[in-house]
């Protein structure tokens, strides 16, 4: 197991470097750069910039170097000093922005994943075991609704319903009076009053797909011969279910960890914009639109790292859950 982890970790490092380079190149594929965008916005307001000022701006932001040189300067600062560069838009070090946004995003994402699994797995098991029952039909209907309704629309409807029923408008993780306040019990209670809605939206949208996958996988296993043989030997239904089919049917869910982490962190962009959440989603969108390459590159690098780490966790979990998977030889 240790050799497997070390081998996978050795593969992760060059893979992340390759992904970071590709991300850095893709960011600069659109014509122009941040200075061009800045000059266009300035011209729209009636301002102007001469050639000397334009060159000074490019030198200030490090855009006077070639693309490979820009990447080497950027990645060297990250590896040796933990310096992700400075954000063009926010006029601050990217590392400071990440320290503010990433922990909140990761906390919300991890909480939503845990709640999703706690809700989706029992529902998927019940739907498969009680196939075509009233519960199966009900959960199937709710799953289809969860898959069909976009997360941002669900967030808008729930936010409007809460406002009409209680008069309380959820516009972020904290109410305006607590955003700049130091931590206290009152601020914690205010956080709990606001955070449940984004968690509910993420859980509903993620639960629907997992329920359908688990139900289909478990129904496929329940029809196999080894289950019929176990029943013939007199084993109870729940013992058969938990000892054999569930261990195999859960494999597709374990394999989704690789994309669940980055999808939950990066996929809540629209939901975060609607609910005004101070997470990575809105600044990722803003940095892409404004060609803030250092901030965009750092966020894409984090999402790539989460994908690689999630894939490693998936492989380890699959090897643990299913003895047929020989991780030592992979």
**What residues form DSSP beta bridges with 86?**
93
pLDDT in tens, 10-43: 888 888 888 888 888 877 777 766 777 777 777 7
Give the number of other CB atoms < 10 A from CB of residue 70: 20
Residue in 102, 35, 17 with CA at minimum distance from that of residue 290? 35
How confident is the model at residue 46, as a pLDDT?
75
Q: With contact defined as beta carbons under 8 Å apart, do 24 and 71 qualify?
A: yes
Give the distance between the most distant pair of CA atoms in the chain: 87
- pLDDT band of 330, cuts 50, 70, 90: very low
User: H helices of the chain, where?
Assistant: 2-27, 34-44, 51-60, 67-81, 94-129, 134-148, 151-166, 185-222, 225-232, 237-243, 245-249, 251-254, 257-266, 269-275, 280-289, 293-321
What's phi and psi for 86, nearest 5 deg?
A: -110, 140
pLDDT in tens, 81-98: 888 888 878 888 888 888
> What is the distance between the alpha carbons of residues 214 and 245, in angstroms, rounded to a whole number?
11
Tokens 């992700």 sit on residue: 84
| Tokens linked to 83 | 């310096």
First to last CA, the chain: 11
What are the residue ranges spanned by the domains of the chain?
2-81, 98-329
pLDDT in tens, 100-142: 888 887 788 888 888 988 999 999 999 988 888 999 999 999 9
> What is the distance between the alpha carbons of residues 23 and 78, in angstroms, rounded to a whole number?
15
> pTM of the entire structure?
0.77
> What is the distance between the alpha carbons of residues 145 and 212, in angstroms, rounded to a whole number?
12
How confident is the model at residue 327, as a pLDDT?
47
pLDDT in tens, 227-283: 888 888 888 877 888 777 887 888 888 877 777 767 666 556 767 777 777 778 788
Fold classification of 98-329 (topology level): MetI-like fold (1.10.3720)
Identify the residue with better confidence: 296 or 59: 296
pLDDT in tens, 290-318: 778 888 888 888 888 878 888 888 877 77
């Amino acid at each position: 197991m240790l050799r497997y982890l070390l081998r996978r970790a050795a593969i992760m490092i060059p893979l992340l470097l390759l992904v970071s380079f590709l991300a850095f190149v893709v960011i600069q594929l659109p014509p122009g750069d941040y200075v061009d965008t800045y000059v266009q916005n300035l011209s729209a307001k009636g301002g102007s910039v001469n050639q000397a000022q334009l060159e000074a701006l490019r030198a200030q932001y490090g855009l006077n170097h070639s693309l490979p040189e820009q990447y080497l300067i950027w990645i060297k600062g990250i590896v040796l000093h933990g310096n992700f560069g400075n954000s063009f838009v926010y006029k601050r070090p990217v590392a400071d922005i990440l320290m503010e946004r990433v922990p909140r995003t990761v906390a919300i994402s991890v909480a939503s994943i845990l709640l999703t699994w706690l809700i989706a797995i029992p529902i998927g098991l019940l739907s498969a075991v009680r196939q075509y029952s009233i519960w199966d039909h009900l959960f199937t209907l709710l799953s289809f609704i969860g898959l069909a309704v976009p997360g941002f629309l669900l967030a808008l409807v729930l936010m409007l319903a809460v406002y009409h029923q209680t008069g309380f408008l959820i516009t972020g993780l904290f109410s305006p009076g607590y955003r700049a306040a130091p931590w206290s019990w009152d601020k914690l209670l205010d956080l709990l009053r606001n955070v449940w809605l984004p968690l509910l939206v993420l859980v509903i949208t993620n639960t629907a797909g997992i329920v359908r996958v688990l139900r289909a996988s478990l129904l496929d296993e329940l029809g196999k011969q080894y289950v019929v043989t176990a029943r013939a030997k007199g084993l109870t239904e729940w013992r058969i279910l938990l000892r054999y089919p569930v261990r195999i049917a859960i494999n597709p869910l374990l394999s989704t960890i690789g994309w669940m982490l980055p999808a939950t962190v990066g996929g809540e962009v629209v939901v975060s914009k609607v609910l005004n959440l101070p997470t990575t989603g809105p600044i990722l969108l803003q940095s892409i639109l404004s060609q803030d390459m250092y901030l965009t590159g750092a966020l894409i690098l984090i999402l790539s790292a989460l994908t690689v780490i999630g894939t490693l966790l998936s492989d380890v979990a699959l090897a643990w859950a299913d003895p047929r998977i020989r991780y030592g030889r992979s």
